[in-house]
Amino acid sequence: MPAGGSIRHPVSHTGVSKVANKAALRQWMRSHQDLWIQPKVDGVAVTLVYRQGQLVQATSRGDGLKGEDWTAKVKRIAAIPARVTGPLANSVLQGELFLRRDNHVQHQMGGMNARAKVAGAMMRQDDSALLDHIGIFYLGLAGRSPPRWMSVCRR
Residues known to be catalytic: 40
Query: 40 CB contacts (<8 Å, ≥6 apart)?
Result: none
What letter would DSSP give residue 20?
S
Distance (Å, whole) CA 60 – CA 39: 20
Query: 12 CB contacts (<8 Å, ≥6 apart)?
Result: 64, 65
Strand ranges for the chain from DSSP E = 7-8, 35-36, 44-51, 54-60, 66-67, 91-99, 134-141, 152-153
Distance (Å, whole) CA 94 – CA 49: 9
**Side chain identity, residue 14:** T
Residue 9 buriedness (CB in 10 A; 0-12 / 13-18 / 19+) = buried
